[in-house]
Amino acid sequence: MTEVVVRCSGVTRTYQDEAVPVYALRGVDFEVRRGEFVSLAGPSGSGKSTLLNVIGGLDRPDEGRVEVDGTLLNDLSQSELSDMRLNKMGFVFQAYNLIPVLSALENVEFIMQLQGVGAAERKERARVALASLGISELEHRRPGELSGGQQQRAAIARAIVTNPVLLLADEPSANLDSGATQELLELLQRLNEDSGVTIITATHDPMVMSYAKRRINLRDGAIVEDAINEALPA
Amino acid sequence: MSDAPAGVARNVRARATPMLAMRIGWRNLWRNARRTWLTAGGIAFAILLVVFSMALQFGSYAGMTENATSLLTGHLQIQNPAYVNDQRVEHTIADATIVRRQIEATPGVLAVAPRVEIFALALDAEGERSSGVQIMGVDVAAELSTVRFLKMVKQGRVLQSADEAVIGATLARNLGLDVGDELLLLGSAKQGGMAALALRVVGLFESGMAELDRGLLFAELEAVQNAFELGDEVHTFAIKVVDLESIDTTLGMLRREIVRDDVVIRHWEEVLPELQQAIELDRVSGQFLYWMIMILVVFSVVNSFIMTVFERTREFGMLLALGTRPAGIVALVLWEALFMWMLGALIGLSLATGLLWWLADVGIYLGAAMEEFSAQFYMPSRIYPALTAGAMLTAPLVMLIGTLLAALVPALRIPLMQPVEALRAE
């Protein structure tokens, strides 16, 4: 049986909005196994980004348990969560969020520097990651000198260069045109299929959903549908 | 990517290497170049102003000290402890010749002038006019090597023989005397009897200090010792040291060399407490001004870093999300602050050093109008800045600490940030 990478049990997250509790997540239960490509779908306010943040240890649930790669996140301190994110997760953000003063290569190297990887190995791995995303020739450009699609590729290179257990992508196509979105999705698909990277993406873009192997629909903080994408080959 | 399969990640703690943090810190500095130049300019201005003022202040103290001590007191004085508070004729140092040799043999001593100092009544030859005076029995050659008072003889000449006197111009006027006239000194000898000494005025001095011009009289040492039954005894040894900067070393050597009950060795600060107090007062008021300038500039640095931290909240959220420890992000801000300080310090110190180097050569002339006024406070007519380590390093070091603290205060907000909220910041 395939190993479970993410296990959420009864996850609830509530926000206070002018003394009125707003339920972002209501007792969410689900599992993601190694090698899956899952899209969390739903309209704005459905709780998909909140669920992604909770899985990524960026936010804490009020109730319920979140396990990533066998570690219960509820018990971890902020520092331990930082280390967990550094060592086991890769993040791709809607706004790319590259470090503006570093080149594409340095941005990819950055995360390995935090891990203490030696300079030569770091540079080599960063170059391989950029090459695998087709932007080797742009390695010395800073984010401001790259297009949105190129920045997103650099962000993905940064996210995967450490071989994370889990790649989390929050609305990765939100700022891309359809051509760039398709390229990005083909890239994620290739990573998932060729390298076995487990991917969870929060999106309301049907195109992104069409590339995911599994779609979890959320509405008002609860899972209303959890289905395999039949359109993709098994 | 490496060949390792997905999910096989090492479990390590985030550590931003200094080189990485330095690189990001330096480049961040230029994200808003105008703000950086303004803030660094403020630091440079504070350093320039404070370094320049302190160098000038220290330079003026050195000038004042040299002016004051070279006039009459010398850098050090040796006296009988009883004489310090009660200047009676019998409070002397015995065996003056031996003590003088010991002083002259001490390293760091450039010159020594033995003196007999006695209060007496001066009368004109006819005995019609009189005035209280302090007789200074001096060895003229030693006196001229040690202090410059006798160089202030404006009329006549200095002493050459035992029956001669040099007196203040005001005293001469009060007694109706001129160069060539005779005067009589009457006082109490050491053994209690009456002492009398007839002298011929050979020179008149004008020091510009009314008290001295009115009440001081110089005569040959031996003549005064004989007249007042002092034998080989003196009241004071005035000492000039080779280097005023190392006066404390010389003082220590003298204290080890001359161990006697009838001797106390005094620093010029004890001999001229009013000068020391004036310097201290000026130093304190100067420091108050310097602190005000530096605090104002530090506030502008705080403002700059508050804006930096607020503007980059989202970026810090991203760094936290990637696994950077909050302390690592604070370190980035502090590196940026350090580079900001280095930039300001480099500019400020370069300008200050250039300016002071030039002024150390030419000095700042206070002007003819200030000359008489400044003389009363032992101020030289031309001030030379002192390029000392204290003057050059105090402001840069204070600004370094101030700049780092100014950056640390807003940066302490970073550990309190929740990554998810920081990522939502506009």
Q: Each residue of B20-35: pLDDT tens digit? A: 888 889 999 998 999 9
Torsion of CA B6, B327, B312, A135, to 10 degrees: -30
Among A115, A166, A197, beta carbon nearest to B12: A115
Q: How far is A228 from chain B (nearest CA, A)?
A: 23
Residue entry with tokens 């873009």: A205
Q: How far is B343 from chain A (nearest CA, A)?
A: 19
Residues B253, B258, B262: CA angle, nearest 5 degrees: 140
Q: How far is A99 from chain B (nearest CA, A)?
A: 7
> B14 with B104, same domain?
no
Q: Is B24 on the interface with A (CB under 8 A)?
A: yes
**Contact indicator for B228, B45 with CB cutoff of 8 Å:** no
Structure tokens at A63: 């109730």
d(CA B358, CA B387): 11
DSSP assigned state of A193: I
Residue entry with tokens 């331990």: A80
Strands (E), B129-251: 130-138, 153-156, 164-168, 182-188, 194-205, 216-220, 236-241
Structure tokens at B39: 């803030």
> B301 with B236, same domain?
no
Residue A26 backbone dihedrals phi, psi, to 5 degrees: -125, 95
Q: Is residue B74 part of a domain?
A: no
- Is the pLDDT at A1 greater than 80? The verdict is no
Residue A29 backbone dihedrals phi, psi, to 5 degrees: -125, 125
d(CA A64, CA B60): 75
Domain stop point among B203, B232, B262: B262
> B224 with B150, same domain?
yes
Q: Is residue B76 part of a domain?
A: no
Report pLDDT for B59. 87
d(CA A208, CA A178): 11
Length in residues, chain A: 234
Q: Is residue B75 part of a domain?
A: no
According to DSSP, the residues that pair with A198 across neighbouring strands are A166
Mean pLDDT of chain A: 89
Q: Is B419 on the interface with A (CB under 8 A)?
A: yes
- Is the pLDDT at B376 greater than 80? The verdict is no
Q: Which of A13, A101, A165 to mutate to test the interface with B (most CBs of B within 10 A)?
A: A101
Mean pLDDT of chain B: 89
Q: Is residue B346 part of a domain?
A: yes
Residues of A in contact with B319 (CB under 8 A): 99
Q: Is residue B401 part of a domain?
A: yes
Distances (CA, A) of B320 to A84, B83, B164, B168, B325: 11, 75, 91, 82, 6
A with B: how many residue pairs have Cβ under 8 Å apart? 123
**Contact indicator for B88, B415 with CB cutoff of 8 Å:** no
Nearest residue on chain A to B415, alpha-carbon basis = A78
- Is the pLDDT at B303 greater than 60? The verdict is yes
Report pLDDT for B2. 42
Residues of A in contact with B315 (CB under 8 A): 97, 99-100
Q: Is B7 on the interface with A (CB under 8 A)?
A: yes
Which residues 6+ apart lie within 8 Å of B277 measured at CB? none
Nearest residue on chain A to B420, alpha-carbon basis = A58
Residues of B in contact with A198 (CB under 8 A): 6-7
Domain stop point among B227, B262, B297: B262
d(CA B387, CA B295): 24
- pLDDT tier for residue A14 given thresholds of 50, 70 and 90: very high
- HSE, side-chain direction, 13 A CA sphere, residue A42: 25
- Is the pLDDT at B65 greater than 50? The verdict is yes
* Mean pLDDT calculated for residue range B239-249: 91
Q: How far is A81 from chain B (nearest CA, A)?
A: 8
Q: Which of B422, B419, B414, B421 is nearest to B331 (CA)?
A: B414
Cβ–Cβ contacts within 10 Å for residue B180, how many? 9
Report pLDDT for A50. 93
**Contact indicator for B144, B162 with CB cutoff of 8 Å:** no
Residues of A in contact with B15 (CB under 8 A): 114, 116
Nearest residue on chain B to A90, alpha-carbon basis = B322
Cβ–Cβ contacts within 10 Å for residue B120, how many? 22
pTM of the model: 0.76
Q: Is residue B377 part of a domain?
A: yes
* Mean pLDDT calculated for residue range A100-124: 91
Domain stop point among B240, B262, B284: B262
Structure tokens at A133: 């995303």
Domains identified in chain B, total number: 2
d(CA B260, CA A64): 89
Which residues 6+ apart lie within 8 Å of B306 measured at CB? B410
Q: How does pLDDT run across A181-213, given as a tens digit for each residue?
A: 888 888 888 889 888 889 999 998 888 999 999
> B87 with B212, same domain?
yes
- pLDDT tier for residue B306 given thresholds of 50, 70 and 90: very high
> B112 with B248, same domain?
yes
- pLDDT tier for residue B1 given thresholds of 50, 70 and 90: very low
> B114 with B186, same domain?
yes
> B87 with B58, same domain?
no
State CA B336 to chain mean position distance: 36
> B85 with B223, same domain?
yes
Domain that holds residue B251: 81-262
Report pLDDT for A140. 95
Nearest residue on chain B to A166, alpha-carbon basis = B7
3-state secondary structure of B259: coil
Q: Which of B176, B215, B181, B173 is nearest to B198 (CA)?
A: B181
Q: Is A116 on the interface with B (CB under 8 A)?
A: yes
Q: Is B262 on the interface with A (CB under 8 A)?
A: no
Q: Is residue B271 part of a domain?
A: no
b/e sequence B83-101, b meaning 16+ C-beta within 10 Å: beeebebbbbbeebeebbe
> B99 with B191, same domain?
yes
Among A97, A100, A165, beta carbon nearest to B7: A165
Q: How does pLDDT run across B126-185, given as a tens digit for each residue?
A: 888 999 999 999 999 999 999 999 988 999 999 999 999 999 999 999 999 999 999 999
Cβ <8 Å between A86 and B419? no
CB-based burial of residue B210 (10 Å sphere; 0-12 exposed, 13-18 middle, 19+ buried)? exposed
Among A69, A79, A132, beta carbon nearest to B1: A132
pLDDT, greater one: B414 or A16: B414
- pLDDT tier for residue A93 given thresholds of 50, 70 and 90: confident
According to DSSP, the residues that pair with B240 across neighbouring strands are B111
> B378 with B284, same domain?
yes
> B280 with B255, same domain?
no
Q: Is B10 on the interface with A (CB under 8 A)?
A: yes
Nearest residue on chain A to B324, alpha-carbon basis = A82
Structure tokens at A164: 């994370």
b/e sequence B321-341, b meaning 16+ C-beta within 10 Å: bbbbbbebbbbbbbbbbbbbb
d(CA A111, CA A175): 24
- Is the pLDDT at B6 greater than 50? The verdict is no
- Is the pLDDT at A131 greater than 60? The verdict is yes
Q: Where are the alpha helices (DSSP H) in A2-103?
A: 48-55, 78-88
Residues of A in contact with B4 (CB under 8 A): 163
Q: Is residue B419 part of a domain?
A: yes
* Mean pLDDT calculated for residue range A162-166: 89
Structure tokens at A193: 């299929």
pLDDT, greater one: B335 or A179: B335
Q: Is B101 on the interface with A (CB under 8 A)?
A: no
Residues of A in contact with B5 (CB under 8 A): 163, 195-196
Cβ <8 Å between B323 and A53? no
Q: How far is B27 from chain A (nearest CA, A)?
A: 6
Nearest residue on chain B to A4, alpha-carbon basis = B7
> B280 with B227, same domain?
no
- Residue A227 amino acid letter: A
Report pLDDT for B373. 60
Residues of A in contact with B333 (CB under 8 A): none
